[in-house]
Structures are given as structure tokens and as C-alpha cells.
Amino acid sequence: MQTRNSSVNGFMLEPVFSCDVMPGKKATGAITFAADDLEACGIDTITDLEFSFYIFNADSWNVILESDIIHVKTSAANSHKQVYNSAGVILFDTEDITIVYQGMSEDPLGLAANLYIENNSNEGITLEAMNTSVNGFMIEPAFICDVMPGKRALDTLLFYLDELDACGIEKITEIELNFHIINLETWDTIIDTEKIKIEVD
């Protein structure tokens, strides 16, 4: 048993959770969210959780059940309001989807462009980066982001150090890309954005 499509206080966050239960047995487990992930989202008090259970055969991996979204509210739900930091350079903005660039950060594997993504539509979405270049060199980042309806996500365009080194890039000054946005369930294309340029200070 695992969880899918998890969110905390409106932010998409993947917990650590996997539980094996043998036939006729019971088990206890904990859905654990990393403290660093909560801090990055500015979450100091958990007010609500959403997730679904994905249950499959441990031997064959055949799916047994995918539950509907489960909503859990804590005792702080009525007294605490989550603040969302959407400050930054707006890369793409419609009534339904907003993508904001929030600066660069270092990662053990390379350099990362930090993104804030908001999905105000009524469908789950998946975002991918296409036709990406860094300082004029074609380099594909590690990036794929799922955002459920009405939720937000913090994610990164991660550029691996070995690929940057191969292109002689020590400092990223410019990123160009298109976002390919599809329906999370059907994979139907929602929109392919025009070319977006990120000027890195």
C-alpha cells in the first residue's frame, strides 16, 4: 500500500509511506512528510491533508484498489491560515495555471531553477519542460510536476553538474524552454506554452 496525489495545506508533497500486509494480518504505519519539505513551503502548522491510497499485490504488482481522495482536517484547521509565497517572475499565467520563477539554488547534483506552480483548474495536471536550453546549450533538466486541482507545488528545473561541465557552464545566466502541460489522468494536452526566457541574475 502506498499513497498518491498527497498534499499538505494545499501544497503537493510526497510523503514516505509504504506498508506491506500479509493475508489475514494487520499492520500499522505512518505517513511521514519531510521536515525540509514542510519548511520550504512555509508550513509550520498542519491544518489539512489530502491523499489517495494505491493498493497493489506485493508479488505481481497488479492493482487491487485506487481510492478516491481522502480529506483529513486537524484541530488547527479553523484557527490557522496557510500563507502562500507566490513572489517572483511570472513565466506563465492564465485563469487556471500560474508558473512563477523564484530564483536559483544549488543542489548536490547540479543547479536548480526554483518554480512555484498553482493549479486553479478543475483537473489534475502534469507539467514537463521541453526544448530547454541553458546559456544557449540544449540541456534537458530533470523536471516533471503533478499538481492536483486547487493545489500548489514547489519544484525545480534541475540541471545536472556533469552536463553543465560538458558545456563549459559554470554560471547559468539564461534559460529558455516551453512547458508542456497535460491532463494528469488522460494525458491529453492542455497547452504547450510559447517559448519562455528566464533571465538569471
Q: Residue ranges of the domains in the chain?
A: 2-73, 89-199
> Looking at residue 201, what is its pLDDT?
87
Instruction: Residue 164: name the closest of 197, 139, 200, 130 by CA.
Output: 139
- Rounded-to-integer distance, Cα 75 and Cα 160, Å: 42
Mean pLDDT score, 45-54: 98
Q: How confident is the model at residue 9 (pLDDT cuts 50, 70, 90)?
A: very high
Q: Which three cell numbers stand for residue 31?
A: 505517513
Under 8 Å between Cβ of 143 and 157: yes
SS3 4: strand
User: Looking at the domain that runs over 89-199, which CATH code has it been given?
Assistant: 2.60.40.2550
Name the pairing type of β-strands 144-147 and 97-107. Answer: unpaired
Angle of CA points 13, 65, 185, to nearest 5°: 55
pLDDT digits (tens, 9 = 90+) for 162-193: 999 999 999 999 999 999 999 999 999 999 99
Model confidence over 61-109: pLDDT tens digits?
Answer: 999 999 999 999 999 999 999 999 999 999 999 999 999 999 999 999 9
Whole-angstrom distance, CA of residue 87 vs CA of residue 103: 10
